[in-house]
Structure 1
Amino acid sequence: MADVKVGVTAPAGFMAAGAAADIKGNGSGKKDIALLASRVPCTAAGVYTTNLVKAAPVLVTQRRTGAGRLQAVVVNSGNANACTGAQGLRDAEEMARLAAEALCLSPELVGVASTGVIGVPLPMDRVAAGIAAAAAALSPDGGEDAALAIMTTDTYPKQTAVQVEIGGKVATIGAMAKGSGMIHPNMATMLCFVTTDAEVSPGALQAALRQAADRSFNMITVDGDTSTNDMVVALANGLAGTPKVAPGTPEYQVFADALEQVLIHLAREIARDGEGATKLIEVRVKGARSLEDARKAARAVCGSSLVKAAVFGADANWGRVLAALGYSGAQFDPARVDLWLGGLQMMAAGAPVPFDEEVAAALLQQPEVVFTAHLHAGDAEATAWGCDLTYDYVRINGSYRT
């Protein structure tokens, strides 16, 4: 697989746009309406937040991807349309209707997503104007504008794409994502939109998306909060002419591996761009009794506020890593654990190993900090990603609404 043009318009037949609608009413000029559309109807799949409190667009889009078909998605930033009651549902449906009308589609073929402040009704007059502007600007080169339009506290747009050979034909998978705060496992803790010109059956697309999300977005954490608006939606239009990817076929694993590569790249970028973050933290757990234990252990270390703070301060306080492993719920014998910071061993068979504090501090000052724990309890392993906890995280979230 080789890197190609990035973003949701990298695959054949997809167009996108971003427009400024001033949804927050602050006159910033920021793009805050994104529109993504395919020339032809697509197989669709989705994975959504497990939060009991689900935003109106999540409820609408969850129902529509359940039918397995979409052709477009409309997204706004700056307002989550969450906890907005019956009016919120009507507004989400109206967003889909407006986009459908502009694209000459059935509203049932349009997904809806929102991100931003919870508990504030959408300014539908501005939303409508933004959708019209985005529809007029749709272009095969509009992927970056769409990626900019879905951002909230993100500091940069997150896009990627790969090419993969399926049955002798080259297909492309492209994606964009946003996420910086309220990032924690249990799906998906951000917004992500995936496009592909491979032909994929609904069952295969849903299975591959869920598996890839489990290994990527469900293995990142920034702050322990799971949002009301999280979703990953995938669209496959088949225009590359590949054999149909279906469960149990050789093509399925090839497609699933490429999709996982795309989502892991975006997951790392989301963790790296956590609110106020200065460093990406990667935690590798090896030798766990089960995959679930490995995931629990890795996520606990990444999610530990004390570990995150120590990384921010470049303090090699490795006991915090062991403490997080211990409360993670994973089963292991502490007397057998080995621990490394980068290539520097800090613990062997449950006992401390003398190490150079200056070397450790230098490793902790790198933009990527890697901890590896070997539990010697089995053969399972997992990797999780997070970021350091900084003063800026409090500053950003202390004034998010105002």
Structure 2
Amino acid sequence: MTTDSFAEQLLAWYDQHGRHNLPWHNNRTAYRVWVSEIMLQQTQVATVVPYYQAFMERFPNVEALAEAPVDDVLSYWSGLGYYARARNLQTAAQTVVEDFGGLFPETQEELEGLKGIGRSTAAAIIAQAFGKRAAILDGNVKRVLARYHAVPGWPGQTRVLNQLWEHAEAHTPDTRVRDYTQGIMDLGAMVCTRSRPACTDCPLQTGCKAYAREEIHLYPGSRPKKAKPEKTTWMLILEDKEGRVLLERRPPSGIWGGLWSLPEIDPAYGAEELQAACEHNLGLDCTEPELIRGFRHTFSHYHLHIQPARLSVAGEHTLRDNGQHKWLHRHEALSLGLPAPIRALLATPDQAILL
């Protein structure tokens, strides 16, 4: 099968079966395409759509995003995960406003110079927003090309990735590039899926080497397995006499960076030592802790065992603060950008929680 027929057959399939009315297809500006591409990293379309619509209503253009309080941005991102994406999104928006007069650059090099934009995302903006030829290689496209060409190995390896980029560049047509890039993403999401691919519905079946060899399951190669480390922490639900809960802002980098969370205590402390730890770390005199059923939250590179404990702050208090704490009623706290397990803890304080 020639490169031209690859694109032609894919486009013919897209015309009949592809997704043509996604929210970012309407009023297709570089800003709207860019936000959708960042949201779609590590996240499925069905999950992204309601978040995207709410985000666009609150931040309708790059200037609105650049000028917004970071807490607003994180709040509208809360639940999508990988929160560095949201922080990078705002940083890039500020760069577009300050350095490019609010207009997105149209070159690969300049787009990749913006925070959080890599080669494939830059290409998607160029193709989808500006209609210019640019090859993309997101997770769905990697899977389609790895199977079609029977490229062995895990795509996270440089050698494998370079091969896939070569195929992506070769197959990208000079015309209808918007439809082609959307089509190949749709094919990976809807037909050439990770498990149980619908090969009989695939327009590329006759040229697919993995299908011909009956080795679809071998491509793309799996990431080498590595046991995730286990970590443990105490998370404190500290309530004052007004029923407010103490929140603590996370450091700007790292897990849940910049989000509001609950104060944490080193797991080396026993339950009977939590009162002393609150006094030592926060300057708060607290009642004995009430333990809430613990649970495990899994990140991409480790498991975190969270043991919540609820304590009431006794009498008047003087918080030993560094400017990164807030006393808020629960409904106020839930309006902020919170990690999913913290949101669950605050929303269901009297239930045993298993996530």
User: What is the TM-score normalised by the length of structure 2?
Assistant: 0.29
Q: TM-score, normalised by structure 1?
A: 0.26
Normalized per residue, the structure richer in strand is 1
Q: Which has the higher helix share?
A: 2
